[in-house]
Structure 1
């Protein structure tokens, strides 16, 4: 399964995402110190994620025209080159423009990488392959987020911007070894025909509800209680998620992924519900560990089930769209209701939102979403 092309794809994806996460928190801070303030910092993140979602919608068409090799290369260039231009100005308009380009690069890279993973691994081991890909792309967030903030404070923004620009560009040689295959655009394979094809939207909704909760927790958990406790809890979650994603892939290849949907939803909902007690270290850390495990399981299970029913490029775009749009909607929506609910009741409502997808998860299981024939 770990062929040369698979290793090269994972290396390129890891390089691009490390460059992205190094600036995920430091670029908004740069804009704030340049006169943009808190509103400017939020605008940088918002503009970047909006560009990510917009680019994800275009990737299936790009892949059909340019192929995997060129599109992966485009994603790395958009993540790398603009970052090298950040030191020229801290003006908000300049940082926003750079962030839009980098957001588009992220959207291009993750959709192309996810789709190519599904193409490169054998069908009977697709779940495990997606799990390994999840581990590879999870490492940059664990390393890049804290490292970017620390280095910005200790070394200044300039060196961080240089590294964040050069690391994605260093992944370009790996792209040269990737296939130039151009997947068909706008067609539906036989495996996606019939009633099961309609399950794509339901699976995406289940996943979007969980990513909405992720956006809430990542953004507001540090504000709801102790920032130090939140840092530990988020680290535990970031470690639990890729491990659970890999385990879910191995389990799904052997026993089917459909049976993981309900446990995944219950685990994530319980993890969010425990954040109601944001002042309790045990509740916060245990809850985020539980949430991280459920999130990782659902990442793999929803993606594997969707790939069984749709074309790789189309499914990858839909799944990544649910990921990024859900996170953005969670952060913005929770901020709007927070003044009326407070943190405890707000976390409780988010847990109920996740639980509301249980009928969709149970229907998908009852519909017989079993593993592919071996």
Structure 2
């Protein structure tokens, strides 16, 4: 494949937009659901958190099966089905006001969110020229970075201006645009796998080739969970709650600025030259966060974490796909995200248990040191690929 082959085709743009709309909805509801639960439904903070965790748990539960579902019924078909059902379920928020019914809807949404995010990543990987896959998947991941800023920004700015009913209708409309984008995507011809019979086995739930890289992703996301779960509460304890509203904006900008360069470096030089420095940067950012005592330092830590973490994750996802047969890209993506999501869920729970005993600064310091384990885990994960390359070279000689 030549380096000049384009990434930004019409089909790739449609997939990026589809992913953007889904994650704008995801991050917006992440922001407003706890508020909605307490203000409109008379619920508690824990019930608001349950609407978030129920969604994530169902997504994690469905993820191992999503690869098999996608390969059985086809990427295009499952992309359309999942985005339509996700949109329809989001419309139910407009009329339903019972918290337990909403919990059921969120659990249902989580299943389709799992399939959508798996299939869009797999389609994106198929559309990108193999020689530019690191760069292309880096661009694709930028849609999630933009959503981190856009979703909460819209939600928080409209929260006191319009009703929750109008908010839910607005974000349902945004997701609905994803249906149009999905319908317009043309993907490479797929083998007819609809006659395949699903068996409950490891190979039908996970991709063996992607497993080692996915384990690295699990440990990375475990440390990252300390940021997404507690940054606002930590900032409030420091008297920096206003500054914290800009933390993820700086975080996202840092990721978007560095990602085009790291993606090209990945393709031209190799993953190690990106991943090793990125792990160290991620560690430095977490340690800066542990010792934060001013707004400027809080934002600086956000920028450093954005450069480090933001470069690691698309590289790992690309490696997971490259380590697997092309026809199992859906399984590889599902395997990677199953472990990645599990790392966030487990990390949020573990850090939530110990923060009362140790304090916020100490959990960030622990995360900053612990994330360095990934330097060794990544080396371990690459051993099979390096041995295979050496064998190929020997055969060629």
1:98 positional shift: 1.9
Aligned counterpart for 1:82 among listed residues 79, 83, 89:
89
Tell me the secondary structure at the aligned position of residue 35 of structure 1.
coil
**Cα distance in 2 between the residues matched to 1:227 and 1:148:** 17
1:127 positional shift: 0.9
**Cα distance in 2 between the residues matched to 1:90 and 1:340:** 37
Give the equivalent residue in structure 1 for 2:68.
61
Aligned counterpart for 2:122 among listed residues 109, 115, 128:
115
Please list every run of 5 or more consecutive structure 1 residues that lacks an aligned counterpart in the other structure.
Answer: 188-196
Instruction: Return closer, same or farther for 1:4/1:290 CA change in 2, 3 Å cut-off.
Output: same
**Cα distance in 1 between the residues matched to 2:228 and 2:192:** 35
Correspondence 1:350 to 2:367 = yes
Give the equivalent residue in structure 2 for 1:259.
273
Give the equivalent residue in structure 2 for 1:309.
323
Correspondence 1:362 to 2:379 = yes
Correspondence 1:73 to 2:80 = yes
**Cα distance in 2 between the residues matched to 1:337 and 1:257:** 34
Instruction: Return closer, same or farther for 1:152/1:74 CA change in 2, 3 Å cut-off.
Output: farther
Instruction: Return closer, same or farther for 1:362/1:132 CA change in 2, 3 Å cut-off.
Output: same
**Cα distance in 2 between the residues matched to 1:247 and 1:350:** 26
1:368 positional shift: 6.5
Give the equivalent residue in structure 2 for 1:25.
31
- Residues 277 and 284 in structure 1, CA contact (< 8 A), matched pair in contact too: no
Correspondence 1:152 to 2:159 = yes
Q: Which sits farther off after the overlay, 165-174 or 175-184?
A: 175-184
- Number of aligned residue pairs: give it: 363
**Cα distance in 1 between the residues matched to 2:168 and 2:54:** 18
Give the equivalent residue in structure 2 for 1:193.
none
Structure 2 matches for 1:179-198, cutoff 5 A? 179=187, 181=190
1:65 positional shift: 2.0
Give the equivalent residue in structure 2 for 1:215.
225
**Cα distance in 1 between the residues matched to 2:380 and 2:363:** 28
1:233 positional shift: 2.0
1:292 positional shift: 0.8
Give the equivalent residue in structure 2 for 1:102.
109
Instruction: Return closer, same or farther for 1:244/1:102 CA change in 2, 3 Å cut-off.
Output: farther
Tell me the secondary structure at the aligned position of residue 85 of structure 1.
helix
Q: Which sits farther off after the overlay, 240-249 or 34-43?
A: 240-249
- Residues 86 and 109 in structure 2, CA contact (< 8 A), matched pair in contact too: yes
Larger radius of gyration: 2
- TM-score, with normalisation over the residues of structure 1? 0.89
- TM-score, with normalisation over the residues of structure 2? 0.84
Give the equivalent residue in structure 2 for 1:194.
none
Please list every run of 5 or more consecutive structure 2 residues that lacks an aligned counterpart in the other structure.
Answer: 1-6, 199-206
Tell me the secondary structure at the aligned position of residue 154 of structure 1.
coil
